[in-house]
A and B are shown apart, each in its own frame.
Chain A
Amino acid sequence: MIPGPVHQGRLESPFYARLKELDTVNEWHQWKGYTAANELYCAETEYFAIRNATAVFDLTPMTKYRITGPDALDYLDRLVTRDMSKVAPGRVAYAAWCDDQGQVIDDGTIFHLREGEYRLCSQERHYGWLLDAAAGFDVDVAHETDDVAALAVQGPTSYSVLSQLGIAGLDALKPFGLMHANFRGADLVISRTGFTGDLGYELWIEPYKAAALWDALFEAGELFGIRAIGTIALDMARIEAGFIAVYEEFLPADETVRTGRSRSPFELGLGWLVDFKKPNFNGRRALAREYRDGSAWQLVKLDIEGNKPAHHAYIFPKEKRNKGDIGFITSAMWSPVCKKNIALGTVRAPYGKPGDALWVEIYYQREMHWSRKMAQATVVDRPFWYPDRRGATPPGPY
């Protein structure tokens, strides 16, 4: 037990002082108890740093668990829906885990740091669930959110920035790969992962080296357009990438009160993460039933006509609304790089197949007055933004 009193205000990440130095707008929010920037100077400029140069985002508040022990692999394989035995040391896996009813508790990334040593990163906190799931396994689950400082370094010049930083062997690092480097005596983990759908990396280091890493990174990136960014810009990039976000596209199943408000992996477009060939995993029976009988909901990526973002819009099968709605938009934006009006949404089966032409009811405000527009929305099956450089190894100096 830790002696009180607990810290009463917002926590500051090891990068906070650096962010504060760069900040000109003083727009902050609370992220898992930490102070996090909405934007630092201009969300739009920050967004273009992601797509045009290199953007640096402080990931430290992301929930992190260290999973070790002889049964670490078996434990994770039992926990998540995908086959973890295929994730070799030095690889990272995107994964989801479910309750007994096959409803998603959370999604996250699992880093196979070294043989038998894993880090699980997620948006939400699940220590109770992870410990319960560990029954019968010789495994140690440790909470390490505050013990690891993390930065996302994302964008077309990110490879050049990190090369300039002197990271040897970066050229061989493939998407969803990770490597260890020595940063002034500390173990720096670099993974080719991110939430932007672009070329990018995430850096993980002990907090005492955080400020030094930041300084070295910004020095290395000076000629490559490096900029710190806040959450608004990052969220734009993730919608373009078609990535789902907790509390937007789904709720943790163990926090839902009303029936039918949780989602299964199939309903979130994560069917590819469910592997019925591997040994038992939590939620398997329910998911097998759903796979056989069909899902109730379907996540859709929508390409919407016109230029008015479809925030919180209802989705209809026909332009005439009297047919009743079939779902709603969960995230929407005008995409500056695609010059498209894009959105993610959730619709009832059997709607939502690629190519389906649906309708959304958009409310928009001009000079105080509200207007309504029915706009056609086409279901697409690819991310809105998927540049070649995202998959290229070595990525090249864009």
Chain B
Amino acid sequence: MRTYDAIVVGAGHNGLTTAAFLAKAGLDVVCVEKNDYIGGAAVSRNLYQDWIYSNCSYVCSLLRPEIFRALELHKHGLQITPFGGSVQFMENGDYFGAYHDPEVAYRELARFSRRDADNYKTYRADTMRQCRFIRDFLLNTAPDPTSFKPGDLRELLEIGGKFAEMGEDRMYETIRFWTMSVADYLDEYFETEVIKAAKAGSGIIGTALGVYSPGTAYVLLHHYMGEVDGNVGSWGFARGGMGAVSNAIAGAFQAAGGELRTEAGVDTIIVKNGKATGVALENGDEIDGRLVVSAMDVKRTFLKCVERSELPDQFVHRVENFKIRGSSGKLNIALDGLPTFPALPEGSSLINSDMHFIDSLERMERAYDDWKAGTWSKDPYVDMVIPTLSDPTMAPPGKHFMSCFVQYCPHQVEGRAWTSEEKDAFGRTVIDQIANYSPDFRDLILHVEVRTPEDIENEIGITEGNIFHGELTMDQLLFNRPIPGFAQYRSPVDGLYMCGSSTHPGGGVMAAPGANAAREILADLGRQNTVPENFGDD
């Protein structure tokens, strides 16, 4: 029987990225996927007539441009188009818009507070400083602070050097930043509630934490450090939906000779004499491989797919306690036309922007309270975009696809499976909130796909449907991600690697975990590295 050089488990964007870089290095690689389509949570689905849904992830900016370039993703159909601006609808009928034009943006801030308007540039500079510090580590393996290996020491020295270079005051700022809440961070710059609410969304997206929870300032950064064509902080749409990202990486993988197998869900990763030797599929087939790379989250990998007896107890204990909590849901909606938002002036550019329907930190924290009580937010933070305003490929002319990301939505309702009534009620909550600001919205709805974390887990396989494959808190970042001592893509089992978003630097469709894992694997094999280096200063 054929023995592959590497078996990658899971054809999400990270699995495909690892697979592509390994294949480019000349390895014989197969990537197996349980579903009959690839992409994992970076996927475009045709679920209603001629509509294409980005039904999990929905915007793109964190995808590392180094990877885009190295895999020549443009040749495989990927095109990222920037979109600008956001709007926050307010209960009092007003709105706060974030405009693309800096002077118009300034005027809008000054409409609420001139102080906030003038402080915005300081906020931006301070946040960008933290971004620059972390961005350099995205395409690097996190060094182990307990290791005395030359590579780790060199990397640690580099981090220390970059840190010291900041100067005393900024070093203090950085240490504070990494542990503080997004609300406390924003309070240092802004006095207007709706402005803080507008900025705070990025601090909680995908996170089972509230705006006042310590550690959420970092989550804000995680969303801020992306870029589109060097414009750090901007976001874009993948033409054709987020599946275009996975499809393009898959294209690069196949062009390099890789083999893709769908409907090939892995039941067990086979371990013999402490070494991974292949996988047993759910259909009973076995595939032999010299090594196995799991793109599944760390819990699914080690608690469901590896015999417990093959793993050290303490390691398993830590995996069991890894925080990966379902906190976000999604509505994907086919629309018969473009809904109107009467609060916005006629012809406003804000119709093209990211829309939100919550206007204070307090409302956001209350939304979190519902989640803590085991239910979905009755007044949720919704991140709503209409990609078809700029992408002609996702709906028929004149029709639209609307993506609503919903924070918070529990994995299970009060600890038990969702009922269909509850799922409907969750969907209605979101539709009602939007309809409060758009009277014609409800009548334009042709089809709705409601996705709870449970649905995402059942379909994609991510534990609790957590979009980041694990919380982005300090105890689970860098050399702590996913498990201290196993933060360099290797596992306690020889020949078994991790390349999913549970590993450094985490989720967000960056493809960085996949690339970093490939680099470590190639180093272990003594193969030439095919993974690009950081572009460096920006």
| Chain A residues near B (Cβ < 8 Å) | 1-8, 10, 30, 32-33, 100-101, 125-129, 131, 143, 252, 254-259
Task: Say whether A6 contacts B118, CB under 8 Å.
Answer: no
CA A1 to CA B96, docked complex, whole Å: 11
The verdict on B397 contacting chain A, using a C-beta distance below 8 Å, is: no
Identify B132's interface contact among A32, A254, A258, CB under 8 A: A258
What chain B residues lie within 8 Å of A126 (beta carbons)? 118
Q: Which of B55-111 contact A (CB under 8 A)?
A: 94-95, 97, 101, 103-104, 106-108, 110-111
What chain B residues lie within 8 Å of A5 (beta carbons)? 344-345, 348
Q: Which residue, B94, B115, B189, has most C-beta atoms of chain A within 10 A? A: B115
Residues of B contacting A: mostly: helix
Task: Say whether A257 contacts B129, CB under 8 Å.
Answer: yes
CA A259 to CA B108, docked complex, whole Å: 31
Task: Say whether B111 contacts A127, CB under 8 Å.
Answer: no
12 A-B pairs whose Cβ atoms sit less than 8 Å apart in the complex:
A3-B94, A4-B111, A5-B345, A8-B101, A126-B118, A127-B118, A128-B115, A128-B122, A128-B189, A256-B125, A257-B128, A259-B166
Output the least CB separation between A131 and chain B (Å): 6
What chain B residues lie within 8 Å of A33 (beta carbons)? 103, 106-107
CA A126 to CA B115, docked complex, whole Å: 8
The verdict on B433 contacting chain A, using a C-beta distance below 8 Å, is: no
Identify A4's interface contact among B94, B122, B166, CB under 8 A: B94
Output the least CB separation between A350 and chain B (Å): 22
Task: Say whether A8 contacts B121, CB under 8 Å.
Answer: no
Task: Say whether A254 contacts B125, CB under 8 Å.
Answer: yes
What chain A residues lie within 8 Å of B110 (beta carbons)? 2
Task: Say whether B108 contacts A6, CB under 8 Å.
Answer: yes
The verdict on B227 contacting chain A, using a C-beta distance below 8 Å, is: no
What chain B residues lie within 8 Å of A254 (beta carbons)? 121-122, 125
What chain A residues lie within 8 Å of B103 (beta carbons)? 10, 30, 32-33
Task: Say whether A255 contacts B125, CB under 8 Å.
Answer: yes
CA A247 to CA B170, docked complex, whole Å: 22
Q: Which of B319-346 contact A (CB under 8 A)?
A: 344-345
Task: Say whether A7 contacts B107, CB under 8 Å.
Answer: yes
Instruction: Produce 1/0 per residue, B243-279, CB < 8 A to A.
Output: 0000000000000000000000000000000000000
In the complex formed, the residue of A with least CB distance to B122 is: A254
Question: Do A255 and B122 form a contact, CB below 8 Å, given A6-B104, A131-B115?
Answer: yes
The verdict on B534 contacting chain A, using a C-beta distance below 8 Å, is: no
What chain A residues lie within 8 Å of B95 (beta carbons)? 4
CA A100 to CA B173, docked complex, whole Å: 14
What chain B residues lie within 8 Å of A257 (beta carbons)? 125, 128-129, 132
Question: Do A100 and B169 form a contact, CB below 8 Å, given A5-B345, A7-B107, A33-B103?
Answer: yes
Task: Say whether B107 contacts A127, CB under 8 Å.
Answer: no
The verdict on B386 contacting chain A, using a C-beta distance below 8 Å, is: no
What chain B residues lie within 8 Å of A125 (beta carbons)? 106, 117-118
CA A193 to CA B189, docked complex, whole Å: 35
Task: Say whether B112 contacts A128, CB under 8 Å.
Answer: no
Output the least CB separation between A10 and chain B (Å): 8
The verdict on B167 contacting chain A, using a C-beta distance below 8 Å, is: yes
Output the least CB separation between A286 and chain B (Å): 10
CA A129 to CA B345, docked complex, whole Å: 32
Q: Which residue, A6, A32, A252, A255, has most C-beta atoms of chain B within 10 A? A: A6
Output the least CB separation between B83 and chain A (Å): 18
